[in-house]
Structure 1
Amino acid sequence: MSTRWSINITPAERAARIVLGAVAAVAGLLLLAGAGSVLAVTLELLLVVAGLDLVITGALGHCPLYARLGHVPASLKGRTS
């Protein structure tokens, strides 16, 4: 059974999520190389995961949190895709 997600992120927000997510993921990986403690490794891994989440939601155009909260940007109201 296939589930179709609706696009609930504006094109501008999608682009911003992809760019900022990529920057965060790369920064996390670079910082991870020099991590000196367990806490630093944990925080940098969280930064990488958060960055990847932004990239994925931006690429798909669907934010599960927005859907759960019922948030639909004004510019996307009434669209079916």
Structure 2
Amino acid sequence: MVDFKAVLDAARQLTEEEQLRLSDMLRDSVPNQVEPLHEEWDAEIERRVSAVNDETAVLTSWDVIRDRALKRIGPVDDR
């Protein structure tokens, strides 16, 4: 069996382009076992994408979302 840490350390020595290529090849080698979306979810995604494209969606900035979440759960160490 190949040691995961050794493979990871070796992969980190690759150039960024080689790392991306390796990442793509690894992702493609994993069997796709994701179940297809239900029709309702697919329709909802389409509706939301259309609203963003039409500029009719009400969007909220990440800063606002993060502030709301932190008020609910308290401060988080960003380290």
TM norm structure 1: 0.27
- Larger C-alpha radius of gyration, 1 or 2? 2
Q: Which has the higher contact order (CA 8 A, sep 6+)?
A: 1
Q: Higher helix fraction: Structure 1 or Structure 2?
A: 1
TM norm structure 2: 0.27
